[in-house]
Chains A and B, each alone.
Chain A
Amino acid sequence: MNAQDLLNVVVIGSIYTLFAMGLTLSWGVLNILNLAHGAIFMFGGLLAYLVTQDSALSLWIVMPMSMVVCGLIAVLLELVAYRPIRRRVADLHASELATLIASIGAGAMLVAIAENVTENQLVGINPETFVVEQTSFLGLRTTNLEIVIVAIAALLSVTLTLFITRSRHGRALRALAQDPYTCGLLGISPDRMAAATMFVSGALAGAAGVLLAMQLNTVEARLGEPLLLKAFAVIILGGVGSVQGAIAAAFLLALAETFTDVYASTSVRDAVAFGLIIVLLLFRPQGLFSRVAWQRA
């Protein structure tokens, strides 16, 4: 493994971070394992493709727009599916399962829409959205896009971490994760917080979607599925609901995968995530880093 590989780890880890933070947030705070997350992520890329189809727009317009729309899609799911389920189903266990199934259905819906729009073809975001140029960083080969990806991931993860640990709303979120009922009594509206959480989660997925679609130069309906497996590993590694844990775990997973890539074979690489999940679930279900996650794991 050389320095070039490590740079690669940083780029991949950044994408994983952006993807996994949103998923761990909704699970940790709301007990929603949102399997539509991968589809929302894909939609971020798809939207970028759609709006740049005729005329090139700057990435700095396209990405915020995708983030907002993806955030709204996630809020929509919360409003039409997850919230009604929480209202109707009193038993926590049953409501978690119903929510999970609803999220699978919602994800399938988004994928079906995407298949319609793209007519099952691979499409690409207009390259003029962001002109990719080779460049070097500390003597390593890279592209300006990769630098942007890393920078955005760093910016968003630092912002989210500060928001959760320092701001009043962040504290309210943590309180919600602990005890929704008492939160209601304290004047924090669980419904509003849930919608806000879903928005943030969706927006993060949207950003990740645009960036990965740019990096791969492709968008397709099932873009998100492979990332779901990675995100599971990241969440388990970092501890459910822990944003800092997810960030650290994302880079660890990227490192482990690149390591496998270099020293074993590319085909084993994708199984690394599953292996990590199994090992961790067996020996440290509370995650590597957090002694106690937001919720008891």
Chain B
Amino acid sequence: MLSDWFSDNETLIQAALAGALLAYSFQIALRAGVFTLGGVGFWAIGGYTTAYLVTEREWATVPAIGVGLLLSAVIGLGLALVLGRLRALYLAMATVAFVLLVQIVAINWEDVTGGAGGLFGIPVTVSTTQVFLVVLVVSIALVFFERGARGRTIEAMRLDEQLAQSVGIDVVRERHLIFVLSSVLAALSGGISAVMFNTLAPEQAGFHLITDTLMMVVIGGAAAWWGALVGAIIVTWLPELLRFAEDYRQIIEAAIVVLVIVYAPEGIVGLVRRVRGLLSGRRPPTATPFADIAAATSPDRGHSQPEAELPPAAGRDPRPATQARNPD
């Protein structure tokens, strides 16, 4: 029974696993307050590197993916150094530009990428079980990474960067670290996808993938690591669930993103915590990168500033987070 279900749904399971890795990549950055959407670019870099080495150079899968990860780590660090001081929308914009650039390179560098048509017949060298194990290991690693001191550091960086610095957190270095980690996770997803689905084309690594991945993070909820995993599973099965909608499926999918981000930005993680809170009678606040409750305790960082407590002359930028440059 169960094995039947697995073989019937193997492609979806694979897609969910690869999606979860990419969703982790997005989530880890957003949770730390690093507004990067560049993961899709690194997904492509990881994917093409792996595909090229496995197909053209006949490398084994693991070293091929490894090179993809390494390359992404290096490029990710470079990008972090260049874009590191950008905040908020500037960083989002610059990283979207990076994704579009990678896509342009993929279309034009025909010798390696197969051009606009993409690569076909990449040997399938990983099994679903192996990929499952990879996702399991990464998930466990993330649990440890986001627990304890590092978890508190991440919360502080996202919620209040000035405060983070004032308690001794080297925000610049931490942001670089997050950027690199996010790049590597995305490249892992891309590399695995390449040798799991045997084709890779530039159009896969565009806006569409950004939308899909954000959808996973938003629907699942970004306040806990497992939100990305649940989101990946839901988003992967969504086309199946929406089969009745036929031609309107993609429109409905996109509409779901908009509705969730506007009306339920805490996603499933938020929902679960709320239910658990009702049962236990006490609810921990769920702040996600898209729906902070920070304003509840610090009125000076909200949109509306009921009482600007300092005249501009006193020089505190009321909106430190939107600065393009660091104060230092």
Residues of chain A within 8 A (CB-CB) of B295 are 90-91
Residues of chain A within 8 A (CB-CB) of B317 are 296
A196 in contact (CB, < 8 A): no
A59 in contact (CB, < 8 A): no
Are B290 and A116 in contact, with the CB atoms below 8 A? Answer: no
Query: A267–B111 Cα gap in the complex (Å)?
Result: 14
Are B303 and A107 in contact, with the CB atoms below 8 A? Answer: no
B101 in contact (CB, < 8 A): yes
A229 in contact (CB, < 8 A): yes
Are B207 and A104 in contact, with the CB atoms below 8 A? Answer: yes
Are B35 and A97 in contact, with the CB atoms below 8 A? Answer: yes
Are B325 and A115 in contact, with the CB atoms below 8 A? Answer: no
0/1 string, A102-113, CB within 8 A of B gives 1: 101111110111
Residues of chain A within 8 A (CB-CB) of B105 are 271
B84 → chain A closest CB, angstroms: 10
Query: A236–B324 Cα gap in the complex (Å)?
Result: 12
Within 8 A of B (CB), among A65-123: 80-81, 84-86, 88-98, 100-102, 104-109, 111-113, 115-116
| Interface-located stretch among A8-16, A211-219, A275-283 | A275-283
Are B258 and A102 in contact, with the CB atoms below 8 A? Answer: yes
Query: A260–B223 Cα gap in the complex (Å)?
Result: 46
Q: Closest residue to B88 on the A side, CB-wise?
A: A96
A158 in contact (CB, < 8 A): no
Are A274 and B97 in contact, with the CB atoms below 8 A? Answer: yes
Residues of chain A within 8 A (CB-CB) of B30 are 97
A163 in contact (CB, < 8 A): no
Query: A274–B292 Cα gap in the complex (Å)?
Result: 32
Are B257 and A108 in contact, with the CB atoms below 8 A? Answer: yes
Are B93 and A116 in contact, with the CB atoms below 8 A? Answer: no
Query: A116–B89 Cα gap in the complex (Å)?
Result: 31
Q: Count A/B pairs, Cβ under 8 Å.
A: 182
Are A105 and B89 in contact, with the CB atoms below 8 A? Answer: no
Query: A106–B93 Cα gap in the complex (Å)?
Result: 17
**A106-B258, A108-B207, A113-B251 are known contacts. Are A297 and B324 too (CB-CB below 8 A)?**
yes
Are A105 and B255 in contact, with the CB atoms below 8 A? Answer: yes
| Residue from the set B92, B250, B289, B290 with the largest chain A CB neighbour count within 10 Å | B290
0/1 string, A178-219, CB within 8 A of B gives 1: 001100100000000000000000000000000000000000
Query: A109–B207 Cα gap in the complex (Å)?
Result: 12
Are B262 and A80 in contact, with the CB atoms below 8 A? Answer: yes
**A90-B302, A96-B88, A225-B206 are known contacts. Are A85 and B100 too (CB-CB below 8 A)?**
no
0/1 string, B32-47, CB within 8 A of A gives 1: 0101000000000000
Residues of chain B within 8 A (CB-CB) of A91 are 292-295, 301-303
Q: Closest residue to A35 on the B side, CB-wise?
A: B96
Are A98 and B290 in contact, with the CB atoms below 8 A? Answer: yes
Are A108 and B254 in contact, with the CB atoms below 8 A? Answer: yes
0/1 string, B226-238, CB within 8 A of A gives 1: 0000000000000
Residues of chain A within 8 A (CB-CB) of B302 are 90-92
A270 in contact (CB, < 8 A): yes
Interface size on B, residues (CB 8 A): 64
Residues of chain B within 8 A (CB-CB) of A88 are 262, 265, 291
A251 in contact (CB, < 8 A): no
Are A97 and B94 in contact, with the CB atoms below 8 A? Answer: no
Query: A96–B265 Cα gap in the complex (Å)?
Result: 13
Within 8 A of A (CB), among B58-84: 82-83
Which of the residues B92, B248, B265 comes within 8 Å of A116, measured between beta carbons? B248
B90 in contact (CB, < 8 A): yes
Residues of chain A within 8 A (CB-CB) of B101 are 229, 271, 274
Are A92 and B319 in contact, with the CB atoms below 8 A? Answer: yes
Are B97 and A89 in contact, with the CB atoms below 8 A? Answer: no
Are B251 and A112 in contact, with the CB atoms below 8 A? Answer: yes
| Interface-located stretch among B142-150, B185-193, B208-216 | B208-216
Are B89 and A102 in contact, with the CB atoms below 8 A? Answer: no
Are A89 and B321 in contact, with the CB atoms below 8 A? Answer: no
Residues of chain B within 8 A (CB-CB) of A100 are 35, 89, 92
- Pairs across A and B, CB under 8 Å, 30 listed: A27-B89, A33-B92, A80-B262, A85-B262, A86-B303, A88-B262, A90-B294, A91-B292, A91-B294, A92-B303, A94-B287, A94-B289, A96-B322, A98-B262, A98-B265, A102-B262, A104-B207, A104-B214, A104-B257, A105-B254, A107-B207, A108-B254, A109-B258, A116-B247, A226-B100, A232-B94, A232-B96, A267-B108, A274-B98, A285-B86
Q: Which residues of B contact A (CB under 8 A)?
A: 30, 33, 35, 82-83, 86, 88-90, 92-94, 96-98, 100-101, 104-105, 108, 206-208, 210-211, 214-215, 218, 247-248, 250-251, 253-258, 261-263, 265, 287-296, 301-305, 317, 319, 321-325
Additional A-B contacts beyond A91-B293, A274-B101 (6; CB < 8 A): A90-B303, A91-B294, A97-B289, A101-B257, A104-B210, A270-B104
Q: Which residues of A contact B (CB under 8 A)?
A: 27, 31, 33, 35, 80-81, 84-86, 88-98, 100-102, 104-109, 111-113, 115-116, 180-181, 184, 222, 225-226, 228-229, 232-233, 235-236, 267, 270-271, 273-274, 277-278, 281-282, 285-286, 295-297
Nearest first, the 7 A-B pairs at minimum CB distance are A90-B295, A105-B257, A109-B254, A91-B292, A112-B250, A108-B254, A94-B292
